[in-house]
Amino acid sequence: MIVVVKIGTSSITEADGAIRAEAVAKLSGEVAALVAEGHQAVIVSSGAIGAGLPVLGFEQGRPTDPVTLQALSAVGQSRLMALYQERLAGYGLICGQVLLAPRDFLVRAQYLHAQRTLGRLLQLGVVPIVNENDAVADDAIRWGDNDRIAALVAHMVGAELLVLLTDTEGVHTADPRLHADAPVVEDIADLSLLQKLTAVAGAAGTDRGSGGMASKLAAARIASLSGVRTVIAAAHRDRVVADALAREPGVGTTVAAQPRRLNARKLWIGYAMVPAGTVWVDDGARRAMVERGASLLAVGVTGFEGAFQSGDAAEVRGPDDQVFARGLMELSSNEMGSVIGLHSDAMPPGAPPEVIHRDSLTVLP
């Protein structure tokens, strides 16, 4: 079995950003135990920016400008990797650095290359250490947290389990920082419950982190739709990864894998691509897309926004202004204005029959 384990900045660094060697040691030991049992493991590790803070003299707080954050990542990433290398080597394991960016999921050739690289590393017995390529990432096209990357990597490598390690025991019914008595939800099988919990989840727990529980729930939804079981649990818990694998009760919050798995293309469109625009549709078009899996036709379009080309991704919103789908546009924004509301037989000569083809459309749960 392939297991992807993600640990966040707040779980792996001190308040001043310095790497917590004991946290890396604990995680390395848990991963080594997995490998010893015949499993394969991928670590998705935050902490590069945090690790660079004290080195470059930012002990008083994390800066916010993107260029400085990228510089911090460039300095901190090597220190983070050196520590993983040292700890895993103590168990006879070799680790390899893999830095990913959104384009590695958006462009099919790059996706396949990354997939082959990760697959070969696992075949060779290497533990890949994945992080977002913060040092050179385009600020307009980036994740900003590693939770979603971890979910997409789980899909990429064919993992059966994703473990998201955090500072709390799991997903609470309310933000535990505001409601200390809010209980942990141990099992989530229905994605509608996941959506409700996302609405009450807190943002990033510390100023060192960029994710938060809402980010982890979004990642769990991606993984669930990919056919991957997800466990959100406390990084400090003893044997947390082994217990997650063994389905031990009380380990945290388990989000079940959905029986119908989205293919890679649908997953990219729905969760990996950055929308370049928005299309509003009427209720009839929404029902046809959601209930029948139909393509979006111009007759159902009521408006649009943004500058996009054919092939760009766009959000699809209903009359209530809620996003319910994402898809790849067949028309550019320059062409959209002349086709809104037209029936198929009234479309201009040479225009595609659909605004978004059903094969390029992902309905969001």
Report the pLDDT value the prediction gives residue 207, as an integer from 0 to 100: 47
Residue 289 lies in a domain: yes
Sheet containing 313-317: which strands, arranged edge to edge? 301-306, 277-281, 313-317, 323-328, 361-363
Residue 109 lies in a domain: yes
Residue 30 lies in a domain: yes
Single out the residue of 214, 122, 108 nearest to residue 159, CA to CA.
Answer: 122
**39 and 162: one domain?**
yes
Q: Which position has the token pair 């640990």?
A: 7
Q: Find how far residue 201's CA is from the centre of its chain.
A: 16
Q: Provide the domain limits for residue 306.
A: 275-363
Phi, psi of 362 (to 5 degrees): -120, 120
CATH number where 305 lies: 2.30.130.10
Residue 165 lies in a domain: yes
CATH number where 144 lies: 3.40.1160.10
**112 and 183: one domain?**
yes
Domain boundary among 231, 265, 299: 265
**291 and 344: one domain?**
yes
From first to last of the 365 residues of the chain, give the pLDDT tens digit: 999 999 988 898 887 777 889 999 999 999 999 999 999 999 999 888 888 888 888 877 778 888 888 888 899 899 999 999 999 999 999 999 999 987 787 777 888 999 999 999 999 999 999 998 865 555 444 555 789 899 999 999 999 999 999 988 888 877 777 777 788 888 998 877 777 787 776 545 544 444 578 888 888 988 998 899 999 999 999 999 999 999 999 999 999 998 877 777 888 788 777 799 999 999 999 999 999 999 999 999 999 999 999 999 999 999 999 999 999 999 999 999 999 999 988 999 889 999 999 999 999 86
Rounded CA separation 187/255 (Å): 6
Residue 346 lies in a domain: yes
**50 and 125: one domain?**
yes
B/e letters for 224-259, b = 16+ CB within 10 Å, e = fewer, are bbbbbbbbbbbbebeebbebbbeeeeebbbbbbbbe
**217 and 125: one domain?**
yes
Q: How many CB atoms lie within 10 A of CB 291?
A: 9
Beta strands in 29-109 (DSSP E): 40-45, 94-100
**243 and 204: one domain?**
yes
Domain boundary among 223, 245, 265: 265
**169 and 22: one domain?**
yes
Phi, psi of 326 (to 5 degrees): -135, 150
**201 and 279: one domain?**
no
Report the pLDDT value the prediction gives residue 174, as an integer from 0 to 100: 78
Per the DSSP assignment, residues forming a β-bridge with 233 are 165
**96 and 205: one domain?**
yes
Distances (CA, A) of 218 to 88, 245, 356: 30, 21, 25
Domain boundary among 265, 298, 329: 265
Is residue 95 a contact partner of residue 127, using CB atoms and an 8 Å limit? yes
Rounded CA separation 365/362 (Å): 9
Record the pTM. 0.83
Residue 252 lies in a domain: yes
Residue 130 lies in a domain: yes
Report the domain count for the chain.
2
**120 and 242: one domain?**
yes
**247 and 294: one domain?**
no
Q: Which tokens in the block code for residue 31?
A: 């991963």
**178 and 73: one domain?**
yes
Residue 270 lies in a domain: no
Report the pLDDT value the prediction gives residue 37, as an integer from 0 to 100: 96
